[in-house]
């Protein structure tokens, strides 16, 4: 050890050398995170946002989108159109935030595509502005009940990943052609794909079923707990 850093060389394997750097700043950071996470656990539990057991879907017509929303979607639509994906429905979950959700379908391919747009309103004195961020996810469903999702969200989920849901995460990969290629490469070895639901009613039913299944897994793992009323 020298200069506050230690280099550790693992034994075995393929002879690769991995450098592990230890700094005093890292220790301070970890201690701070420990204090924030564990000392504030009670406060966090009081302020945690409840997740509804049943979603309240609101479908939005194209002419119901704002001009800013349509402008934001144009380059995403263009990239997906080049992959033969067309918008199938756009919606919100009214009882769980204001995110805009848009589902796309390719009639020649079993994988669906979903775009999530997060809208944040910023206020400074009397001025107000809206900032958007988005993530894209390709999903293929298989005959054995499993699914593969390939997404470019900048953050990963804090929930436990159920065994029936395989996830590839490529943070901030904005080239949707490459994202789809990576998805297809993985999907090819996972089994027989089945068609994605078509039409808003079928899409909403699948989203709700998946939410129920996913939530039940989190309950079993102790990640979530039911409210006293049982509806969240």
Mean pLDDT (whole number) for 174-194? 95
Q: What is the pLDDT of residue 144?
A: 94
How does residue 12 score in pLDDT terms, banded at 50, 70 and 90? very low
Which of 144 and 119 is assigned the larger pLDDT?
Answer: 144
Alpha carbon 130 to chain centroid, angstroms: 21
Residues 6+ apart with CB under 8 A from 214: 159, 162, 165
Q: Rounded CA gap, 119 and 107, in Å? A: 30
pLDDT in tens, 79-117: 999 999 999 999 999 999 889 999 999 999 999 999 999
Q: Contact at 8 Å (CB) between 135 and 176?
A: no
Average pLDDT over all residues of the chain: 82
For the cut 80, the answer to whether the pLDDT of residue 43 exceeds it is no
Which of 38-47, 76-85, 131-140, 174-183 shows the lowest per-residue confidence on average (mean pLDDT)? 38-47
The residue among 148, 69, 133 whose CA lies nearest residue 87 is 69
* Whole-model pTM over 0.85: no
């Amino acid at each position: 050890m020298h200069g506050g850093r230690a280099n550790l060389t693992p034994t075995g394997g393929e002879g690769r050398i991995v450098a592990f750097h230890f700094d005093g700043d890292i220790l301070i950071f970890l201690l701070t995170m420990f204090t924030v996470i564990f000392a504030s656990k009670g406060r966090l539990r009081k302020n945690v946002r409840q997740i509804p057991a049943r979603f309240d879907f609101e479908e939005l017509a194209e002419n119901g989108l704002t001009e800013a929303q349509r402008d934001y979607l144009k380059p995403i639509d263009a990239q997906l159109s080049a992959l033969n994906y067309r918008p199938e429905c756009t919606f919100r979950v009214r009882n769980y935030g204001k995110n805009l959700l848009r589902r796309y379908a390719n009639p020649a391919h079993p994988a669906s595509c979903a775009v999530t747009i997060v809208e944040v309103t910023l206020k400074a004195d009397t001025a107000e502005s809206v900032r958007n961020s988005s993530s894209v996810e390709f999903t293929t469903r298989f005959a054995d009940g499993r699914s593969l999702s390939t997404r470019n969200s900048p953050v990963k989920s804090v929930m436990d990943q159920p065994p029936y849901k395989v996830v590839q995460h490529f943070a901030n990969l904005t080239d949707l052609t490459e994202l789809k290629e990576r998805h297809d490469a993985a999907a090819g070895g996972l089994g027989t794909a089945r068609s994605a639901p078509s039409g808003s009613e079928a899409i909403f039913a699948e989203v709700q079923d998946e939410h129920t299944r996913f939530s039940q897994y989190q309950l079993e793992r102790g990640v979530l707990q039911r409210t006293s009323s049982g509806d969240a």
